Amino acid sequence: MSSSSVVVQKYGGSSVADVDRLKRVAARVACTRAAGHAVVVVVSAMGNTTNELLNLARRVSSEPGRRELDMLLSVGERITMALLSMAINDLGVPAVSFTGSQSGILTDDRHAGARIVEVRPERIRKALDDGRVAIVAGFQGMSRSREITTLGRGGSDTTAVALAAALGAEVCEILTDVDGVFSADPRQVADAHRIDALSYGEALALFRGGARVLHPEAVAWAAKAGIVLHTGLAEPGPDGWGRGTDIRSLVPREDPHPVAVAADADLEIARPGPGGMAELLRWCAEVEAPVRFVYGSFALLDRRDFHHVDTVTWPKGATHEPGGLLTVAGTGGGTLPNLLFGETVMKQLGIEAVYCEMDGDRLCWLLPSSERGRLGEAATALHRALVAP
């Protein structure tokens, strides 16, 4: 197997949501194999499976243990891997499926938000050497103490990139039902447009800001390994294949300005009690709360990966409320004039932010729980003012 011929393709949950789609994915994989590539396919859970499993757990227990939750959630991807492998074998192409731990995805031991620390893909290499397509269950790994862990919602992207890096793949494709990264969520902002290419830094700012196209950790891995990430359609839409988006090291732009807006409604704003920030953060570490950002007087926690957010006992005197975050990203776009322009926009909408921030590549506004319902409106206005021109 020559390492340059390895292609890693990751298929998102909507692209494998039912048997027909799964079979179409199998056909595409078979084509890639027929073109002479060694193919590794990373899969997500089918459709809404992960949410359904979470709901099932909540019906059984008001406070499901995090270890057992990971045992449960990791099943979603395993269903897809086995079915896809069967479908590919039926096309006469030898394929074999592997769980995250069988693929050598080693993580730390933080359940529901584990980070990959090492990849030892011996079994995958062997399968490729034997001429087989390797199908890998995304979103999961194994800790040093041999516990099954999951990588946080959306984490199968990270599985794909980490494997691509470990296998020396030149191409890592993240395939889904959207034609790449858009300048805003097209369901929220009508005039959002597809972006041809983003730098790693821009993509990181956008995905950390809550744009759900790709998992931020996946971009961090790609940046570290210098892998070009291509994201695009898993199958042709009404307008054909589309062109998708490349995420790579440097994207020259004529004049630096914001390229995209992200809105995140799934955050919890946590403020310390009398014990101060240090106590709050120690508590976060103890209960494995997913801390996304820490600012001077509060921390932002990721509600999507904080499965016990509503049942956990908070430190004495600490307060918390859901919040919404708006992020405007683009190399060199975090300037004072842009910030002031954005402030004017918010003022015109009558939205009072809790906090705003500016750095070289990013502007952001944090909205309190009372304004969270207006994220879409604010994203549309910021997009029109700062990105669209």
How many Cβ atoms from other residues are within 10 Å of residue 347's Cβ? 11
With CB cut-offs between 5 and 8 Å by kind, which of Mg ion, ligand ASP, none does residue 155 bind? ligand ASP
141-174 as b/e: b if 16+ CB within 10 A: bbbeeebbbbbbbbbbbbbbbbbbbbbebebbbb
* Binding of ligand ASP by 45 (CB under 6 A): yes
**Part in contact with Mg ion (CB under 5 A); list of ranges 21-29, 150-158, 302-310, 343-351:** 150-158
Least distance CB 72 / Mg ion (angstroms): 19
Question: Which residues, 6+ apart, have CB-to-CB distance to 146 below 8 Å?
Answer: 101
Which span sits near ligand ASP by CB under 6 A: 44-52, 353-361, 364-372, 380-388? 44-52
User: Which string of x and - marks every residue 47-86 that binds ligand ASP (by CB under 6 A)?
Assistant: ---x-------------------------x----------
Axis crossing angle, helix 66-90 with helix 19-34, rounded to the nearest 10: 60
Question: Which is nearer to ligand ASP, 125 or 215 (by Cβ)?
Answer: 215
If the CB atoms of residues 187 and 282 are measured against ligand ASP, the closer one turns out to be: 187
Torsion, Cα of 384, 386, 387, 389 (10° steps): 80
| 139: partner contacted, choices Mg ion, ligand ASP, none (Cβ within 5-8 A by kind) | ligand ASP
Q: Least distance (Å) from ligand ASP to the CB of residue 232?
A: 17
According to DSSP H, which parts of 104-199 are helical? 122-129, 156-167
Residues within window 145-164 making contact with ligand ASP, judged by CB under 6 A: 153-156
- Under the binding rule (CB under 6 A), the answer on residue 334 touching ligand ASP is no
Q: How far is CA 233 from CA 11, 20, 28, 154, in A?
A: 9, 16, 12, 17
Residue 42: CB minimum distance to ligand ASP, A: 9
Q: Considering only CA atoms, which of 365, 363, 360, 329 is closest in space to residue 347?
A: 365
How many angstroms separate the most distant Cα atoms in the chain?
66
Draw the binding track, 166-205, toward ligand ASP (x: CB under 6 A; -: no contact). Answer: ----------------------------------------
DSSP letter (8 states) at residue 385: I
Strands 140-143 and 105-107 come out as parallel
Q: How far apart are CA 262 and CA 362, in angstroms?
A: 11
Tokens of 389: 């021109």
> Quick one: 296 exposed, middle or buried, by C-beta within 10 A (0-12, 13-18, 19+)?
exposed
User: Sign (positive/negative) of CA torsion 309, 315, 320, 325?
Assistant: negative
- Taking the complex as a whole, how short is the minimal distance between the CB of residue 154 and Mg ion, in angstroms? 4
Q: Which does 330 bind (CB under 5 to 8 A by kind): ligand ASP, Mg ion, none?
A: none
- State the minimum distance, in angstroms, from the CB of residue 72 to ligand ASP: 12
**Rounded to the nearest whole angstrom, what is the least distance from the CB of residue 137 to ligand ASP in the complex?**
10
In 3D space, the residue among 290, 301, 269, 297 whose CA is nearest the CA of residue 366 turns out to be 269
User: How many of the chain's residues bind ligand ASP (CB under 6 A)?
Assistant: 11
Judged by CB under 6 A, the residue of 98, 139, 221, 365 near ligand ASP is 139
With CB under 6 A as the contact rule, the residue among 13, 258, 272, 333 that binds ligand ASP is 13
Of 64, 104, 141, 154, which lies in the binding site for Mg ion, with binding defined by CB under 5 A?
154
**Site residues (vs ligand ASP, CB under 6 A):** 13, 44-45, 50, 76, 138-139, 153-156
